[in-house]
Amino acid sequence: MAARVETPRRTPAPRFGLPNLGVGVGLRTTHYEHLLSEWPEVAWLEVLSDNYLHTRGRPLEILDRLAERYPLAMHGVSLNIGSTDPLDLEYVRELRALRERIGARWVSDHLCFTGVSGRNTHDLLPLPLTEEALRHVVRRVKAVADVLGERLVLENPSTYLEFAGSALPEWEFLTAVAVEADAGILLDLNNVIVSAKNHGFDPETYLRALPLERVVQMHVAGHTDHGTHAIDTHIGPVPDAVWSLYDRARELGADASVLLEWDAEIPAFEVVHRDALRAEARVARAAGF
In terms of CB distance, is 9 or 226 closer to other proteins?
A: 226
What is the footprint of other proteins within residues 130-169 (CB under 8 A)?
Answer: 130, 132-133, 136, 160-167
Report the distance separating Cα 172 and Cα 270, nearest Å: 38
The interface region with other proteins, picked from 111-119, 143-151, 170-178, 211-219 by CB under 8 A, is 111-119
Burial class of residue 288, CB neighbours in 10 A (0-12, 13-18, 19+):
exposed
Decide: is 235 part of the binding site for other proteins (CB under 8 A): no
Write down the least CB distance from residue 289 to other proteins, Å. Answer: 40
Contacts of 228 (CB under 8 A, 6+ apart): none
55 in contact with other proteins (CB under 8 A): yes
Per CB under 8 A, 122 contacts other proteins: yes
Least CB distance from residue 129 to other proteins, whole Å? Answer: 10
Q: Rounded distance, CA 113 to CA 129, Å?
A: 12
Of the candidates 68, 141, 143, the one whose C-alpha atom is nearest the C-alpha of residue 101 is: 68
Shortest distance, position 26 Cβ to other proteins, whole Å: 17
Q: According to the binding rule CB under 8 A, does residue 59 interact with other proteins?
A: yes
For the packed helices 189-199 and 240-252, what is the interaxial angle rounded to 10 degrees? 110
Q: How many residues line the site for other proteins (CB under 8 A)? A: 55
User: Does residue 78 belong to the site contacting other proteins (CB under 8 A)?
Assistant: yes
- Give the shortest CB-139-to-other proteins separation in angstroms: 12
By CB under 8 A, residue 67 contacts other proteins: no
Q: Taking CB under 8 A as the criterion, which residues in 178-207 touch other proteins? A: 198-200
SS3 231: strand
Q: Which residues pair with 46 in a beta bridge?
A: 26, 73
CB of 156 to other proteins, least distance (A): 17
- Other Cβ atoms within 10 Å of 182 Cβ, number: 15
Do 129 and 159 meet the contact criterion of CB atoms below 8 Å apart?
no
> In this structure, are residues 217 and 224 in contact, taking their beta carbons and an 8 Å threshold?
no
Distance in Å, CB of 78 to other proteins, minimum? 3
According to the binding rule CB under 8 A, does residue 224 interact with other proteins? no
Q: How far is CA 207 from each of CA 111, 128, 151, 223, 259, rounded to the nearest angstrom?
A: 16, 21, 22, 19, 18
Among 84, 89, 101, 271, binds other proteins (CB under 8 A): 84
Contact 59, 52 (CB under 8 A): yes
Residue numbers of the site for other proteins (CB under 8 A)?
A: 32, 36, 50-51, 53-59, 61-62, 76, 78-80, 82-84, 88, 91, 113, 115-123, 125-128, 130, 132-133, 136, 160-167, 198-200, 227-229, 231
